[in-house]
Structure formats: C-alpha cells, structure tokens
Structure 1
Amino acid sequence: MLGTVQLGMVAALVVVLVPMGMAGWHLSRNKMLFFSGALFISLAVGVHLSTPFFPSSLSSFFVSSLSSAVVVFDSRRHSCLSLLHDVVWNLTLSDSNSSSLHYHKSWSWPNSSSSCNFQTLSRSDASDLLNGSWIVVAGDSQARFVALSLLRLLLADSNSFDSAKVDLFKRHSDYQTLIPEIGARLDFVWAPYADNLTDLVAAFRRRSPPDVLVINSGLWHMLRVTNESDYALSLKKLRDSVVSLVPYSPELAGDGTRSQAPALQPHLFWIGMPTLINSMLNTEEKREKMTDERRGSYDRQLWKSKLLRQSGGPLLMLDIESLSWNCGVRCTEDGMHYDLPVYEAAVQIMLNALLIDSHQKL
C-alpha cells in the first residue's frame, strides 16, 4: 500500500513541477499548457491501466474512510436535530399594577448546544434562507400563530405586519401574501382536521408542491369529534398521502433506528399540540373534553401513525408542547393559545432544522 501511495505522490509532483520548470525556461504559455496536458493524460492512462494491480487494501481504505465520515456527519446532524427544542426560557417582570403582572419573555439555546451552532436568525438571514420559496402553513389556530410569527420575522416594517395580522386572523379563513423583497410567498390554509390536510396534500400531488409545508391537527378533533380511533385512522390516511407527495430515502432517525426521511423538498413539519392547562380553558365543553388523559391518548395515536420523522415518518415535529410547558402559565391567558414568543421559538427551530437538513451548517 505504501508503494502505491508513494507512486501517486511522485506522479503528482511530476505533473506540477515539470511544467513549472519549463516555465522557468521561458517556454510560451501555450506550449507549456500543451505539454502539461499531455503529461497529465499520459499519467492518468497509466494509473488507469495499473489500477487492477493496486492492492485491494488501498480502495477499501478510502471506501471505509469515506463511509466513516458519512456516519459521523449523519450522527452529528441527527444529534443536533434532537437538541433543537432544548431551549431555556427567561421570564422577567417588566410591569405591574393592581390587576395584572406583565413579563418580558425571552429564550435561548443553552451552552450545551454550542457544538451545533444554533442561531437565532435575523430578518436578513431568514430572508436569505427562504428567498424565492413558497411556504404553506395549514391547520388550526396553532398553525395560524406559527404563520404570524414567521411573517413577523420576514416583513420589513411594522405597518405591513399589523395589516397582515388583521387579515390572517379573520376567523376560519385562508390567507395568502407575497413578500416581494425576497420573492417569497406564504399561504395559510384553514384546515383544522387531518382529513382537510389529506385533501390539501392530494391537491399538491396534481401540481408542484410548496418548498416548505408546515401542518397540524388535533385540537378540533379532540373537541368536536372526541374519538381517538377516528383520529388515528385520519392520521394514517394523511401519512399515506404525504409519503406519496415526495420521494424518500433511508436515513437514521434521531434515536438511531432506521427510518424513512425526505430526500428532496418539500421540507415537511408538524406543529405539535400545546400544553393544555385545563383549569384555564375558557368553556365548560373544553374543560370536559380536552383533559390531560385524552390529550395523552391523542399524542399516542400521533406517534403510532408514523407521521413524524422522530417515529419513522416524513414530518419533523415542532414540539409546541415542550416549548409551552417550559414557558409556563405566565405565557398563556386561556390555557391553549400561548404568547407569540413560544411560536417565534418554533419558527427559529424550524429555520435551524432547514439549515441542518440542507447541510448549510452544523
């Protein structure tokens, strides 16, 4: 093996140094390039003809080295994806009066995540990442808050954001907007049930899908249908529809098991249900039906459906439950919808996941 490596080094030196020496003899540039090219081709042919006689250990050495590098890269990438939700909240009392307390809410990734180089993307960075993209956010009010948080990050002035907020929060309606500065389009689709999402994905199969698809379902089904088995069936149909939307390739899941993950766009995300604080829910029907026990049962059906990438499916979870739980009761007024920083954290997690998946940083 050493002899072969030494032979390669000698060949490289010949290709580089001989033309340089000839240049020192003041040969014309054309002649020097002609000689260099001829010399390179001759050596390449010689190496090609002698390749079958190289020790097999040489090729196996390079193959094993490359395989090891890929495994390390994949392992680190999945490790970083699994750490994305490990955020630390800081709630600081900012104002008080006789009737209420007001807290400034901020969050950050802990120092233990520093090796992954997570970053809170600025408007400029997020605009560069999503430049020219078509983004679709579909689902219930939780998805609407995610769409609002993304618009707050991307829109250049407060007047544009205030106008978008009014239009976006028209009850049970769809919303579309263009962000001409970056040539991006954002659609919000009101689709509170998994069957609505299945129909939406089926429509995408008949045309080009969006670059980023962010969806959710569960709260309305829990309140209006209240049937875990029916929810499980609708999630299975949704998974089958999503899987048929884009090609998939085998990839290691976050827990080290073999799974299926998206190889090409669109980038797919699932917005998890928030922490439900039963005593704060604003109607008797919600307090009766949206219990911790039922919420746990719905979550189990979601994981069993293999819709999430973390359980072998196509969509990466944006874990609103953990984000809202860690922010706590001071971040919600109705026990279901949380203050905007919770959803802004989810958006930053999504953007960092996009960077990791596209190998733009680790």
Structure 2
Amino acid sequence: MFGAVQLGLLAACIVLFVPMGMAGWHLSRNKVLFFSGALFITLAVGVHLTPYFPSLSSYLSSLPPETFVPDRTSCIPLLHQIEYNASNLGGSWSWDDSGPVSACGFEKLGRTDASDLLNGSWVVVAGDSQARLQVLSLLNLILGPDEMGSVRVDLFKRHSDYQIMVDETGTKLDFVWAPYVTNLTDLVMKFKADKNYPDVLVMGAGLWDMLHITNSSDFGVSLRLLRDSLDSWLPISTEFGTDGPVTGSVSIRSPHLFWLGMPMLINTMLNTEEKREKMSDDLRSDYDKELYRSRLLRQSGGPLLLLDIESLSRKCGAGCTMDGMHYEAAVYETSVHIMLNALLIESHQKL
C-alpha cells in the first residue's frame, strides 16, 4: 500500500502538473503568459509539497524571528509606542519592547547619527511655543553643550523667528513663529513663490487659536485652506493614501512633512483664569475633530505625518508639566526621535 508521502506526491502531480500541461498547450503562443503561468504553478507545487519533506519544514520553522524583517513602511504607525519610566518621569523613555515594535529596530540616535541624517538639509519648524520646544530638543541633540548656551537665549526671544546654520554638517534650521494656521499657510505660499522648499517641514498650531479665537469651525476652515495650499506647491502628486502618495504618483522632490500636535491640556494646572475658562476639554476635542476632518494628516489621507504630542504628554503624565501645557524635555526629545526614525524609514536609510 502507498504511504502518506507517496499518496501526497501522486495527488500533487495530478492536481498541479496536469493543469500545467494544459496551460502550456494553450499559452505556448505567448511566452510571457506561459512563463508566468509556469512560475505560478511551480510555486504552488512547492507550497503543496513542502509538508512532505520534514527536513525542509523543520528548517523553515526553526529560523529565528528576526530573520523575517517587517516592511519598514509598516513600522510608521508603531513609532509612538513609547513608554516612560514611572520612577523617573520626564527623564527616561524607551520604545515598547513588544514583538512588532522591537522588530522595527527603532533607535535613539546619537549626535553623530542625527547629524549624518540631516547632513546638508534645510529643516523648517513653524508654530507656537510647542514648536519652539521641538527645535530646542533637536538642537540639543545635534549641537555640543557649549553651543547650546547661546542658542537657548536667542531661541526663546518672545514671539520671534530664529535661524542657525550648523557649519560642521551644512544643516540649516529655521524656526518660524507662526501661532495661527493662517501664518502657516502664508509660509507655505512663500515657499511656492520663492520656488524654494525645505527638506523637512514641521508645522503645528492650535493653542493660540483655542485661546484667542475659540471657534473650532473656523479652525477647520483654516486647516483645509492650509491643505489646499500644500496641494498647490508640493512637488509630488496631490493624491495621498494613508501611508503616503498613491501608486503612480510621480515624485520630483519629496519634502518630509510633519504636523506637530497639541499637547494634553490639564485644565486645573493652566496658569490663567482665561486659559482655564476657554481651553476646555470639550473645545480641545472639537479642535482635534476638525484636524482629522481637514484631511491634513496622513492618517486621514493627507500629506503630513502626525507627531502626536498629545499621546506622548498623556503617557508622561501630569508629573511632566508645571503649567498643564508645556512639558518636560523628555516629551519633545521623544518627538524628535520619532521624527528622525520616520526620516530614516522614508528615506530608506539605516544606521
């Protein structure tokens, strides 16, 4: 009597090779179709026969998990899987050590690696005080401690722009004071008029709008106008999927675009009565809804990858803020490393 292996082989030959022969008969006039059909059926044969060769099955199952490297673009949604050390709030953080996150190989970049990544780049960060803190954290990473003393003084001049050129790497960094979305739109249109675009653009607004305008609908209109202005100058197709430009879009030059989200607001800790009255949790929720409805973020089909300060500040907790709005350096340091790892992935680079 035939054993299991012999029966399996016979069944595979009947089921797979007979159709292959028939396909060859009908497709022989078209070599491309015949090759494609033959390749597909050969692969199918391999899949069906693998279980009958225990040594091969054992070898494949014995390969270590790290042999199977995930698609790097699928790691983008995992970048915010951050943990803060509860015993050292505001100072210690790391990526979640679960399987999928660990397999992505995210890294805290040192000064040399960060400088190499941004070598020769023009980086623009535009927004309010949250954007200023993002710039401070980035400069703290790529500059030496001696240089940071003067940088801190100049960077924090009230409601002013700031510019620095890192001669060692040729990296140019601009901070643009732009507390309202309309300011961001004006900046984008200036890039278009000058026909000069940054390599990395980080934008964010909302806190000033909540305090001084307090109208989520108007905020949503402004966000959609910003999206339209980006569509008009982006040197890439304006059609985006959830992970970037859709298949078929032609890239001339692709700037890396980020949206710096608003932090978690702790109403009872806000330092003025006006802020506590106007910057409520309900209003904050309405502003978040308008952000997603605007289709500005990549998650909703737009061009900007969210640097989710709200998520990071919430994980860090109330112990990481003195005024319920501005957080300890670790939150912005985390955001910078998320941005740099996203740049590594999107530019197909490895450390």
Class of the TM-score when normalised by the shorter of the 2 chains: 0.7 to 0.9
SS of alignment partner, residue 165 of structure 2 = strand
CA–CA distance in structure 2, aligned partners of residues 265 and 59 of structure 1 = 35
Picking from 238, 257, 263, the partner of 1:274 is 263
Match of 1:232 in 2: 220
**Structure 1 counterpart SS, 2:306:** strand
Pairwise CA RMSD = 3.0
Query: Any idea what SS the aligned residue of 1:131 has?
Result: coil
- Using the alignment, how far apart are the partners of 1:317 and 1:61 within structure 2? 45
Is residue 250–residue 259 contact of structure 1 (8 Å, CA) maintained in 2? no
8 Å Cα contact 1:251-1:260 kept in structure 2 = no
* Distance in 2 between residues matched to 1:261 and 1:139, nearest whole Å: 29
Is 2:350 aligned against 1:355? no
Identity of aligned residues (%): 57
Checking the alignment, whether the CA contact within 8 Å between 1:261 and 1:309 is kept in structure 2 is: no
Q: Deviations over 1:83-126 (max 9, x none)?
A: 00010100435xxxxxxxxx562111122211111011111111
Matched length: 295
Q: How much has 1:252 moved relative to structure 2?
A: 4.5
Residue type at the aligned position of 1:358: S
SS at match of 1:269: strand
User: What corresponds to 2:294 in structure 1?
Assistant: 305
Mapped pair 1:149 → 2:137: yes
Deviation at 1:127, TM superposition (A): 0.7
Partner of residue 31 from structure 2, selected from 54, 62, 69: 54
Is the counterpart of residue 191 in structure 1 residue 178 in structure 2? yes
- Partners in 1 of 2:298 and 2:230 — Cα distance? 12
Aligned to 1:16: none
- The amino acid across from 2:167 in the alignment is P
Please list every run of 5 or more consecutive structure 2 residues that lacks an aligned counterpart in the other structure: 1-16, 18-27, 41-67
Equivalent positions of 1:54-93 (< 5 A) are 54-59=31-36, 76-92=71-87
Deviation at 1:243, TM superposition (A): 1.8
* Structure 2 residue corresponding to 1:175, chosen from 137, 162, 166: 162
Instruction: Output the TM-score relative to the length of structure 1.
Output: 0.75
Task: Give CA deviations for 1:308-341 in whole Å, capped at 9, x if unaligned.
Answer: 0111000000000000000001100000000111
Q: 1:304 to 1:55 in 2, by over 3 A?
A: closer
Q: Is 1:326 the equivalent of 2:315?
A: yes
CA distance in 2, matches of 1:59, 1:240: 44
Contact 1:138–1:214 (CA under 8 A) maintained in structure 2: yes
**Which residue is equivalent to 2:62?**
none
1:115 & 1:216 partners in 2: Cα distance? 30
Distance of 1:221 and 1:329 partners within structure 2: 23
Aligned partners of 2:307 and 2:339 also within 8 Å: yes
CA distance in 2, matches of 1:333, 1:59: 65
**Length-normalised TM-score, structure 2:** 0.78
Q: 2:93 pairs with 98, 107, 110, which one? A: 107
Separation of aligned partners in 2, 1:257 and 1:210: 18
- Give SS of 2:164's match: strand
CA distance in 1, matches of 2:336, 2:29: 53
Q: Do the aligned partners of residues 249 and 172 (structure 1) sit closer, same or farther apart at CA in structure 2, a change above 3 Å counting?
A: closer
Amino acid at match of 2:322: E
Instruction: Give the AA of the match of 1:356.
Output: I
Q: CA deviation at 1:162?
A: 1.4
- Contact 1:212–1:265, Cα closer than 8 Å, also in 2: no
Matched, 1:125 2:113: yes
Give secondary structure in 1 for the equivalent of 2:107.
Answer: coil
Q: 1:123 to 1:260 in 2, by over 3 A?
A: farther
Q: Partners in 1 of 2:37 and 2:122 — Cα distance? A: 44
Q: Deviations over 1:110-166 (max 9, x none)?
A: 2221111101111111111100000000000000000110000010x2121111111
Question: How far apart are residue 248 of structure 1 and its match?
Answer: 2.6
Residue 188 of structure 1 aligns to a residue in which SS? strand
Question: For residue 253 of structure 1, what is the aligned residue in structure 2?
Answer: 242
Q: Is 1:260–1:314's contact at 8 Å kept on the other side of the alignment?
A: no
Give the distance between the partners of 2:238 and 2:83, measured in 1 at CA: 34
Q: Work out whether residues 90 and 320 of structure 2, in 8 Å CA contact, stay in contact via their aligned partners in 1.
A: no
Contact kept in structure 1, 2:131 and 2:203, CA below 8 Å: yes
- Matches of 1:343 and 1:240, distance apart in 2: 28
Match of 2:25 in 1: none
User: Cα–Cα, structure 1 residues 282 and 248, in superposed 2: closer, same or farther, change >3 Å?
Assistant: same
Q: Which residue of 2 aligns with 1:316?
A: 305
Paired with 1:62 and 1:337, the residues of 2 have a C-alpha distance of: 59
Does 2:196 correspond to 1:201?
A: no
Code of the residue aligned with 1:177 in structure 2: it is I
Cα distance 1:165–1:260, how it changes in 2: closer, same or farther (>3 A)? farther
Deviation at 1:250, TM superposition (A): 5.4
Which amino acid is 2:179 matched to? P
1:56-83 deviations in whole A, cap 9, x for unaligned? 14246779xxxxxxxxx9x833431110
Residue 153 of structure 2 corresponds to which residue in structure 1?
A: 166
Quick check: 1:85–1:319 contact (8 Å CA) kept in 2?
Answer: yes
Say whether the 8 Å CA contact 2:242–2:302 is kept in structure 1: no
